[in-house]
Amino acid sequence: MQIVSVEAQAFEIPLRKKFAGSVYWMTTRCTVVTRIRTLDGLEAEVYNGDNRSAGRELVRLIQDEIAPRIIGEDSTAYERIWRKAAEISLPNRDRKIAMEAIACVDTAIWDLLGKRANLSVRRLLGGFRKSIPIISIGGYYQDGKTLLDLAKEMEALKRVGMAGCKVKVGGLSPEQDAERVKAAKDGAGDDFIIAVDANRGWNGGDAIRFARLVEHLGIRWFEEPCHWYDDARMMAEVRRNTIIPINAGQSEYSAHGVRRLIDAGAVDVVNFDASEGGGITEWRRAAAACALLDVEMAHHEEPQIAAHMLAGIPHGTYVECFADPDRDPLWPRMLRDPPKIENGILEVPDRPGFGIQIDWDQLGRYRIG
């Protein structure tokens, strides 16, 4: 059970076109693969994170700062290992990057826990259900994209088995984005889930104006409606002024940050990202806090791990993926035996650990560090 090695590799996959949200754009899909081996021959292999600028630094933190702290530890002592890894976040530094490095290692530890017990992580986390609805992130801003194009995109997502889509908003006026959301809703029909994500693109007043324009459409949630600098207070105000549930948490990197949102009365749904916030161990703390106060759990991206977490608990909502292979060429196209999706439902792999089986012939050529 003793940890004998910790290794990490960073990868960067160029995308064939640019994808834009309200305040950002991307042309690459990045990830870090982490391996941990034990003295008795077990090996974890996981990938997570989509940091588009710090892949090499994540590898350095994992191998140079975290590994010396945890090599020799009992791999089943996940809380102790997490606490020792978290020591790297205490000095003055970019703590978000530190928490992402901790998340890579912690995710591998949970993969080991599952492999040692011969159980999936879904079962380790509670095993509430075997399958879970899956939605795609989409509706990006792209040059020349029309309302008809957006409607057709939703139709296509429904055809490939998605239960719904999280549509990007916040980059135009509330009125213009309301037209886009209506087109998306019309494109796939009433039985297709539509959530909206502003990525902190609006002030409170504009967010409220937008919400009132679209709330009659049955929007599942309104994600990160307000600018970063006073988000909790502004989101609480938006929440008081709309019937649409408010979702946030992906920009937090600790369970303490999630508590801040809950204490402010700012959220109905939390999409805390384990890959950016310290891993499964820290995510469990956030999920427990949400369970006590009837706040639902979502998860920002990373379906290969999120499916296990959200299916393991009773207050999980939907797994998010990028159904468009141009946006995410990694999942599931660079996995062997990819998960099964049918009629909006993802069957969670029941192999030991996370059950991730990377196709190295596909991924290996994109290594950067």
Q: Alpha-carbon distance 244 to 269, whole Å? A: 11
Q: Alpha-carbon distance 279 to 34, whole Å? A: 12
> pTM of the prediction?
0.96
Domain topology for 123-347: TIM Barrel (3.20.20)
Identify the DSSP state of 254.
S
Residue with tokens 């141009």: 326
One CATH from 3.30.930.10, 1.10.645.10, 1.10.1740.10, 3.30.390.10 for 3-118+360-366:
3.30.390.10
**φ and ψ at 285, to 5 degrees?**
-65, -45
Location of each CATH 3.20.20.120 domain in the chain: 123-347
Location of each CATH 3.30.390.10 domain in the chain: 3-118+360-366
**φ and ψ at 158, to 5 degrees?**
-65, -40
**Nearest alpha-carbon partner for 161 in 186, 131, 136:** 136
**Do 101 and 45 meet the contact criterion of CB atoms below 8 Å apart?**
no
For residue 11, the cross-strand partners are 31, 367
Q: Alpha-carbon distance 97 to 253, whole Å? A: 9
Q: Alpha-carbon distance 277 to 251, whole Å? A: 9
Per-residue pLDDT of the chain (369 residues; tens, 9 = 90+): 899 999 999 999 999 999 999 988 899 999 999 999 999 999 999 999 999 899 999 999 999 999 999 999 999 999 999 999 999 999 989 999 999 999 999 999 999 999 999 999 999 999 999 999 999 999 999 999 999 999 999 999 999 999 999 999 999 999 999 999 999 999 989 999 999 999 999 999 999 999 999 999 999 999 999 999 999 999 999 999 999 999 999 999 999 999 999 999 999 999 999 999 999 999 999 999 999 999 999 999 999 999 999 999 999 999 999 999 999 999 888 999 888 999 999 999 999 999 999 999 999 999 997
List of long-range contacts for 241-246, beta carbons under 8 Å, 24+ apart: 241/208, 241/211, 241/212, 242/208, 242/211, 242/212, 242/215, 243/215, 244/211, 244/214, 244/215, 244/219, 245/220, 245/221, 245/269, 245/296, 246/221, 246/222
